[in-house]
Every structure is written in structure tokens, then in C-alpha cells.
Structure 1
């Protein structure tokens, strides 16, 4: 993982409402399209904080990505 690429993804996800909406619909596809690697995507989807910390090389003190569920109603 490129630390910079991951940071760009988190910032873009928080600022871009369309990207956020797409992420809610299909988080894996959005992360792939953004260029994150499979192991990075798995770590985020599984909420593996220690793995994310290892990948970015620092303690993930303020990184928390919430995976929202699409309401199929």
C-alpha cells in the first residue's frame, strides 16, 4: 500500500458525496477503482486495524472507515 494513496482515498471519501454514495453501494469496487490493492481492501472490509496500521506504517489513531449497509427496502 502506498501510504499516500490510502490517505488520498480516506480524504476523498470524506469530501466527495458521490464517491461516498458509491462506497455505500459497493465498497470493494470503489476501493479497487481507486487503486487500492486486494490485501488493503480486505483489511478495510474486515476492520483489521492492526493490518491497516502495518500497511500504512503508523498507528491508525484517527483512521476509521465505517462500512455502511445499503437499505434494500
Structure 2
């Protein structure tokens, strides 16, 4: 489920804006597991990869932290 969410997050600007404002609420509404949400909130790329079904390692994932200025 996380891989589908990340794909949609990269394609849907409205979703991305909502995610920046309240990431946990958005992820919960998409049905992500606690493990997937925790991985995303940690910003740890290895945890995110472990929690997703990405088969291609040539993707670079940029995690937007809503608390960064």
C-alpha cells in the first residue's frame, strides 16, 4: 500500500499539499499501516524501502517534512 501512496503523492499536487499540512492524518486516511506511517514520519529511506514493495532500487524518494523551513 505504501508504494501506491508514494506514487500518488508524487503525481497528485493536491494530495501533496494536504500531506504537507497533516501527513499522519493523510496516511491514515489512505489506510497505511502503523509501520508504514512510522517509516514515513522517520524520514529514514531504508525503513521506507523495507515497508514498501518497491522492486526497483533506481528510484530516489524525496520525503517532504512539513516541519522543515
Report the TM-score range of the alignment, normalised by the length of the smaller protein: 0.7 to 0.9
Root-mean-square deviation over aligned CA pairs: 2.3
TM-score, with structure 1 as normaliser: 0.70
Structure 2 unmatched ranges of 5 or more: none
The higher radius of gyration belongs to 1
- Cα shift at 1:30: 0.7
Matched, 1:66 2:49: no
TM-score, with structure 2 as normaliser: 0.73
Matches within 5 A, 1:15-54: 15-54=11-50
- Cα shift at 1:61: 4.6
